[in-house]
Every structure is written in structure tokens, then in C-alpha cells.
Amino acid sequence: MKLKLSIAYDGAAYKGWQSQPFRLTVQDFLEDALRRITGDRIVVHGAGRTDTGVHALGQGAHVVVPPLFVAEEWQRVLNFNLPPTIRIMRCQLAPKGFHASHSARGKIYRYLIRNHHVILPHEADRVWMVPEKLDMELLHAAAATFVGRHDFRSFTVNRKAPAQTIRDISRITVTKKGTLIALTFHGKGFLYRMVRMLTGSMVRVAQGLDEFSTLENRLQNPVAPEWQHVAPAGGLCLIKVIY
């Protein structure tokens, strides 16, 4: 039987989503739990990778398991065998032909910034502390620049970069409550570290450290050198995978 999963995790405890030889990733812990339950090695397929330190509220995944339990019971049994920093939030039978990655129609990421010189202890590894004053008008304008279909080659790290670096961002919302700023990115897909690099570039413009024209130039000339200002991983969270 094939299960469709929605998974939340505290990324500060793990070296990203994808399995690694040192066995400290979210996928590794999920597969270890399945091995304890079934006695077999079962591969969990995720909707996409998240980096070391990046969090998730709704990572999508699918897995083919023996029919030992109904879907709802699989959720309970898996959570019992997982650390408390990884939770199966939903578990259901997957539709015919479903694939966690190939069936995804979009993703929503949120980046949190605390625009203050001090953060609360429980915000450590959850927000990016930016003490310098940010120009909210420039932040909104920078976000609008990235909306649409663009070649984001200048906003990704060259780690097995795909031949196709054109991506569609349907919406970026910028909201502020007190000193907490949330940047929410809606798109069909994102390149490696793309959201963190877009965030870093937007913040630098809002700080007055870079000209607004710099962003436009990097979009119009995608062969420009890679953008070096990457926002910290802890502020980023995968909110939802849209199917």
C-alpha cells in the first residue's frame, strides 16, 4: 500500500531532508523508524530537499509499505518510533499514480526576520535577527521584482545546478507585526538555496547596502556571479506542498 504523508520537523536537529552517509537527516530517521516497524529497508520519497537547519510544517512524501495497519494507524505507529522533532501530521492512502515530487504543483515557503537587536530565546534557530533598520517600501519593491517567470541562475548555489534555471514565482507577500517580518514565497518550484538567496538580497536592499537596480541586473543577466548573501537557514520553513 502507498501512503501519502505530510511531515513537520524541527530542522535545527537535522542535516537536511535527504539521506546522507552519516545518517542524520529527516529521511534517515523516517526510514529507520520503518525498519524497526517492518524489519525491512523501505525508501521514503520526499517532495523536495530542505537544507540543514531548515524547518517544515508540511513536507510532502510518499512511501510504499506492507499492509500491516490502516493509514491512520500508520501515522500513530510512525510517530511512536520517531523523535519528537519529527511528526507525521497527516497520513492517508495515496491516490493512484501519486508521487510526492512529480505530482507537486507548487510549494509555499516562509522566511521570518526579527528586525530588532535582540530575539527571544525560543526564537533561536527560528528567525533571522536583523538589528539594522529596514526600509519596508524597498522590501516590498524588492519582493515584487522577483514575482513572475525569471531565470534565477544568479540566485542559486552551483551544486549540480540544473540546466533549466527558469522558475515561476506567483506571489511573495511581505507582512510585519511589531518587529517580526514574514516573507512568504509561492512558486511551482525553487532552486537550491534560492529562497534564502532571494531573502538575503531583499534585506540588503532594504538596509541600503545594495541598490535596487542590482536585483534587476542579476535577473536580466543571469550569467552574473552567484549572489553571495545567503540568509541563515533557521529562518526558513517549508509551509506546504501543493498537490
pLDDT < 70 positions in the chain? 158-162, 224-227
Q: Is the whole-model pTM more than 0.75?
A: yes
Q: At a CB cut-off of 8 Å and minimum separation 6, what does 122 contact?
A: none
- Which CATH code fits 106-242? 3.30.70.660
Nearest-angstrom CA–CA distance, 224 and 114: 30
Residues paired with residue 129 on neighbouring β-strands, in sequence order: 114
Which of these is catalytic: 10, 28, 32, 51?
51
Tell me the domain boundaries of the chain.
2-93, 106-242
Task: Answer positive or negative: Cα dihedral of 25, 29, 34, 40.
Answer: positive
Residue 129 has a pLDDT of 98
The pLDDT of residue 159 is 59
CATH 3.40.50.300 is the classification of domain 2-93: no
Q: Residue 103: its pLDDT value, please? A: 97
Is 51 part of the annotated catalytic residue set?
A: yes
Q: How far is CA 223 from CA 92, 210, 217, 220, in A?
A: 44, 19, 10, 9
What residue ranges in the chain does DSSP mark as E strands?
Answer: 2-9, 45-46, 55-64, 86-93, 106-114, 128-129, 148-151, 166-177, 180-187, 236-242
Strand 236-242 relative to strand 55-64: parallel, antiparallel, unpaired? parallel
